[in-house]
Structure 1
Amino acid sequence: MAVWRTAGSQIARTAVVALVIAAVAAGANFGLFAPLDQALAQFRFAGNSRPPSGEVLFVEIDAASLEAIGVWPWPRRVHGEVLDALMEMGAAEVVFDIDFSTASNSADDALFEAALARAGGYAFLAAFQQFLADGTLIVNEPLKRFARHASAVSVNVDGDGTGLTRSIPTVLAGPDLPSIPLALVPTFGGEGARIFIDYSIDLMQVPRIPVHRLLAGAVDPSLVAGRQVVIGAGAIELRDFFRVPRFGVLPGPLVQIGAVETAKAGRNLSVPGAWPALALAGVAGLLYLAFGARLSLGRLAMVAVAASLAIELAAWAALGQAALLVETLPFHATAGALVLLALFEERARRWFESREQQARLAWLAEHDVVSGARSRHAFLADLDRQLAVEPAASLMLVHLGRLEAVNASLGHEVADAVAAQVVKRLGSLFKILPARIGGDVFALNLPSGLDDAHRSLLPARLRVMLGQPFEVAGHQVVISPTCGFSETSPGTPVGAAELLRQAEVALTTARQRHTGSAVFAPAQAQRIADRRRLDLALRRALDENQFHLLFQPQMDLKSGAMVGVEALVRWQSPELGLVSPADFIPVAEETGVIVALGDWVMREACRQAAEWASTVNISVNVSSIQFRLGNVVGTVKRALAESGLAPERLDIEITESVFIDNDETMRGTLESLRALGVTIALDDFGTGYSSLSYLSKLPVDRIKIDQAFIRTLPDPHNEAIVESIVLMARRLEKTVVAEGVETEEQRAYLAGIGVELVQGYLFGRPGLPEAIGLVERAERSTIAVSA
């Protein structure tokens, strides 16, 4: 918030607030907030609901009445009969919301005129304005022969520009005809050009009598006696309906009754529009300028919400107590806009702070903030500069054994304090600042000219120096160092990164052999060369189409039929021969080649499956590396598009390592895959990071029990595990697949505990499509593709 004061832009801040309020005022003027204001008004009307007076009766021309008479418009004699019946029952006054401006046949008109005369001036007939096709405004009034016995009243209604009927004209201009409320409620002053209807009066409680029941004598006279009656259309077919703020749609006569009830209650609503809310919005803007910078974003949002609630409660009370209908959306919109403005200010403040931190970040880029050691990046840059001048260097890596255990048992603070003391001890021994390569690995560029004899003494010196307990926060921490050495060879220039990799290989060798230290040797270099050779051959293999797929059947235990196959990728290298997946898959994952390889497997499996005679589904086993480095969703879309395979025929298998970081992005990717129509299966379940806390939330459809639990069956311990997995999967409504089934006894056991699908050598080894009947069989299958 202080960014405005710091930048000296308080005037600009004031201008922005003024612009916000002006924009809200413009939006209110153009009706931008009308739909939401109408929704709020509906809640206010409902919240202040009150019963009608009970003095007004709606005699409606409903569908049953239309059917009973059999013709529309009704003969005028029918209206006369209705009027006579009502007057005989003691109706106080009767208003016809029906057009009598044109003549009917003489006999019927005479009968109706006679009924009006018998009513003795207590009947009222409708008059209304309308526009002709040419735009001429005319007034439809009752025929003069009728008007001699009954007064004309206006039945026009007002729209508010949004399709809602909120008011009626007090007087019909031109002939100066009064509205129905003025005619039926003489005590109502009728000040103003409109009568705004109070829809808090529950018009659903107004008594309603169908005309056909009245004419049939089926109405209790006590329901009519002493009441004012409005007669009009209630049937949908007559199309005399209006949208109103509370009840949705009401027939026109009931809208007129709402106006009459409003007049009887003396609650002609006052509708000041948006100005009160805009005035309060201006006050909110002033308060924001005065105090907004002192509040956090969260507190400001809470104040804005509280103010909006208070305004809304006040509007509710104003409607109930003072018949005042005010618009509140302009205030709510202003409050929301001010919160967004505060959010922008907060982001701007953070941006300025981030610029102030750049200098510190530059230091952090070259140092480990916890221990004070040089960073890996800075260390390699320094070493590269040294090698460019003098191509001779000796590198030592020190691994701090048990530091990870200290971190886990005593916490980060203790482990970080130990790392800081290690840096000091190493610096005092070699008079140089070490670099922190990893959490528990430090590197030193040893002084030039260090011979083998001196280097051989370094591990012992380090064990003595670093083996002494570290006193941290009342704890005594003991670590065990392990060393790995590498150095440049005459005539064989290497870069800093390569020299560091060699030292890491030596350190790994020392840790594996528990020798305390190791020096990088040519044999180790050969292993690296072999790994590079495998990596290069692997990359060429993709371009030269050296991979192929084999398929292993999956069986349905209930039917005994093959319902799927798992496709396994194989590599036949011209130079290396048949390379085991156990050798090339890890290399592909470490180098990122798994992304391209997985893409090939996906496309090839989909292509083959689409060409088989059997209707198979495609299930793709995707490595966690593919999720992190590739675009799995894009790969799946392309494979389906190229092959023409339907999305619902695709089943993708993932391993539990995908969820090791509980990454919401990964979960979103799986949801996107499912949205394409594919199925998700969790492979090798039980051997990785299984957790009930995430399994219940994962977007997976199948659980594949790892073969390590199946091949040892019958084994009491593994039986307990398998049965638990099956029970859990059943409760989670997920299909179970068992891998590694090799004996009939295992098959029978799995069938007995409810496993649906199985695969293993008992049912067949991996083979070509034609070898296992994929080309000739017509059954539906599921293909699980392993990359």
Structure 2
Amino acid sequence: MSRLTNNLTGLALAIVAILGILHEGQEWDPIVGLQNQLTEYRFQAAKRTASGDIVFLAIDKVSLEHVGRWPWPRRVHGQIINTLVESGASEIALDIDFDSASNPEDDEFLRQALERAGGAVVLAAFRQSESVEKPANKVADNLPIEQFLQNAWPASVNVIADRDGLVRRFPYGQEIAGNFVPSLPSILSGHTGSDDDTVVIDYSIDPKTIPTYSVRSLLKNEIPVSALKNKKILVGAHAVELRDTLAVPVHAVLSGAAIQMLGAESLNQDRSLVTNSKSSTTILILIILSSCTLLTLRRSLSANLIALAAASILVEACAFAAQIYAATIIVTAPVHLATATMACFFMALELSSRQFKVLRSRVRAQNIRHVLDRVFLDNFDAIIVADANGEIEIASEKVTGILTTLNHRLCKGKRLDDVVPAALAEEARDAIRKLEAGSFEGSQCREFSLGDESNIHKVVEYVITPSRLEAQPSAGSKLGSEQIVVCITARDVTTLRAQKDRLEHLSKRDQLTGTFRRDEMIVQLAGTHRMCPNDETRSGHALFVFGVHRFSIINGTFGREIGDALLKEVARRTLCFKDRSWKVARVDGDAFAILVEDCGDEMSAREFAASFLIELEKPYFVEGHRVHVQFDLGISGNWQNFATPAEFLSAAEGALDASKKSGDSKLALYDPSSANSVKRAQLIERHLWRAIERNELTVLYQPQVDLSTREVVGAEALVRWDSKELGSVSPAEFIPIAENSGCIESIGSYVLLEACLAASKWPSHIDIAVNVSSVQIHRGNLIENVDYALAQSGLPAKRLHLELTETAILNQQEETRKQINELRERGITVALDDFGTGYCSFEYLSNLPIDKIKLDQTFVRNMLLETTSAAVIRSIMTLATGMSLNSIAEGIETEEHAVQLRLAGCRQGQGYYFSRPLEAEKFVAQIRDAA
């Protein structure tokens, strides 16, 4: 059986035992006492005020002194009744014993007062033991004399004391002299019950809030009539010398009359407290213990204890609320005892679990110790552990052969100096001294060389680590002294070092030619810079990067093996050219770099390059082949002040590229202005690829206007780029770069989708024109992008105009024609953009399946200045009309432009005269305002 199952069984048995004991023990004095204390705390925590409907007239010390004796003459009580009746009291109760007659005159006076009260007076009645010797044998009934009962009501004033002697309850009434007599609080409050029922007094009602006056003040007419009118009055003892006091909760001691008042107030405020049953308490305990056990199953002891404590607090809070707001006493003492008992059980389980874990940990530690001992002995490294005195405690098997010829088993007990080299032993002792002084800064890996009898060189890598061991307990449970040991770990790295040296050589040198690699060349350049810190000295260096002209053709003609052999011969010839201390590197497939340290200016660099090229271009004899080779060469000089060696090399490589592109020169010198243009283009290209995902592209819309009606009939989508790094970049600058890099595909797709989405929200008579690059057409994904944009936006195909340049149409005519036909079949309008700037002839135009031509803005700007431009425009418009092609002109900046174009036959136009390109929202607003 698992330990979890055992714990669950134990918990279940514990819960059953707790339930059984506490169910039967809820009436045990300790539990009852604890519950009484909790109930009293609740009374104290939430005081409440009296209703004010019942007034207490206290027979206090000053009242006794005022009358002068006790018991008072019955005449005084009659005066009290008369005064109260005259004051308008609704009901009068006297908690005074009238069970015997006094002198006839006073009794008659009191009887008449009772008669005048008209039955509104209640007199005290009670039961008591007849004798102290045998109190249980006979009970005496005390009732007012018959003379008084003719005009008054008897009321029971008996209260019930619990086993601890405190008065907490009273009966609704009791049988006195054979008749049921209701209790005084019951009569005053108007609540009745059977003689079997008892009322729990609510001691949260503050007696100090009960309207209380001295009888003396009443007799002297010092109490305002308003304080007594329509009030219920209780007259009773208050003076200590009358000895009518009882022990109660909260207030310690109260007079009997005060207890009657609190009882009446409890009933009057519906605060007759009821107590829950034993069974409900037992069920509550079961719910709490079961819930806490299930919720905290397999959790920590602290979680279990917190859950139990939280449950107790929650139950007590609910009990407090129930007592205050629902006049219900919930017995919680057994609940708290149950949670405390369960907490003890959880702690016992935790202690047992920890003892089990300690035992298991000891076994595991022993097993691990055995495994580690074996691992230590069989380790590939030589390991020695010695104490602070240098005496070896343990040594691994590899110590033999790496650090000593002595068998490792014989090392234990010997001193370090007898086993390892003296320098190593001294370093170990020094590490111990530093650890004791607190100056040890950590272990470092070092090496030393050894020579054995065969004089074979050996390289040993080692690390020395001192450790401070915790004090071990000695006899008598006293801690022993701290111990310091040192561990020497060593390994033979002779072969590893040889391999590392070879790899380091290979990492720096090109495997084919033996020259430096590109990265190593940069390191060498950096060293040259450090050796020559001032500008005057550094100006003596020049870097030459040269490459075999059309090397790919040589490889294809003679084969790769011949090509590799040629590169090796080029490297050899370079290294042998003149007697110079050069640094030579292979920086690319067929490109080499040379650092020449005595070229101080451009002229000397060019002279050297010319002589060097003559030597390089002499015929090569490779594998029986005579090979004639030409070279391109780029130069960068240190006099050009490069910031880093990498820039120095990149400049020479850039010059080599310029040399290859020039076609008329074998060598070129680095040109900073050309390099800056290239860098700018590279920078734009790099950021352009991320422009879409970074939301840097914006689509603007320039209105297209019907030149006859001047109504907006469409808009051209124009992309703008506001880069976070480069700022605003002109389309004239980034569009060509995007076309060359292929980025135009994603940009074109983005603009097409954005334009269609925007146009789908415009009035149905307004079309959208989108420019299409030749790259988009020739890569064959234009149709898919158009279909996707139309599907996503819901824009009708007839409202989409695609503007194609002459260059895009002239290249790959058949493929272009096929795609244009597919687009037109979908209902899309195809326009020829920038017409008149390219090579498109009128004859070719007549054979091209397009719907619209767009006149380039250069014609529009010159039409008012040059008659030839105006004539060309009229010819184009005549041609367009004859071919049933729609026409539009861009670049309209004046009213005269618009008028002349309309007269020439142009139907639509766009330009700054009508509107600049607008954001989508502003374009929509302009349309709305025009309407």
- TM-score normalised by the chain length of structure 2: 0.41
User: Larger Cα Rg: Structure 1 or Structure 2?
Assistant: 2
